[in-house]
Amino acid sequence: MVEPSFLRALVWTDYRLAVLFTVVLPLGLLIWAFVQKNEPIQHLLTIYWKVASLLMITVYLMIGGFTLSFVAAVMARVLIPIALWFWVDLNEEIREQPDSLLKLVFSAWRWAVTLYNVLGAAILLTFLPCGFSNARFAAADCQTWLEPPLLYKEYFHSGYTQGFLGFFGLVGLAIYMASLAWFVFVRLGKQGRQAIN
């Protein structure tokens, strides 16, 4: 059993790092890539944002108190690194670009966010039982993971109920899973690991 104070510090550190690595830096990089007209980096970051939207969906599922939020959290941490390295054509185009500050910063971020998500997935796997049992979900260590999303709710959605916001998380998850299924069963078979037709 993890010490409650250590777990709380770990959870809050994880959320702070998530804001930095999965929101602030990629948003800045996307703007920079558009300004520099760097299409391969723009394209890869656009794909990243589509995949990383599962993190925000997870926040809303946690606000709603849904056990499957833990499954979604692990899934997001696994899918993000895959999305960043999966595309053969984009990886090749980025690798062949002349050296630039944008390319250096983008590459450093890509490695950092990959490492962050791999470590985060490993940690969250130990809490995956929270996603399969209401009794386990109600335990103090599982509930600790819900503290930052609930504070987010207080800041940005204080006038709405947890159930109402959780419903939007479920709708988002349904749309996300339908899009993922379409990609895996339709698009992947047609174009493989090529991001650009």
pLDDT bracket for residue 3 (50, 70, 90): confident
Are the C-beta atoms of residues 90 and 193 closer than 8 Å to each other?
Answer: no
Please give the model's pTM, rounded to 2 decimal places. Answer: 0.93
Buried b (16+ CB within 10 A) or exposed e, 84-117: bebbeebbebbeeeeeeebbeebeebbeebbebb
Annotated domain spans of the chain: 4-191
pLDDT bracket for residue 1 (50, 70, 90): low
Helix (H) or strand (E) holding 160: none
Are the C-beta atoms of residues 33 and 102 closer than 8 Å to each other?
Answer: yes
Q: What rounded mean pLDDT belongs to the chain?
A: 95
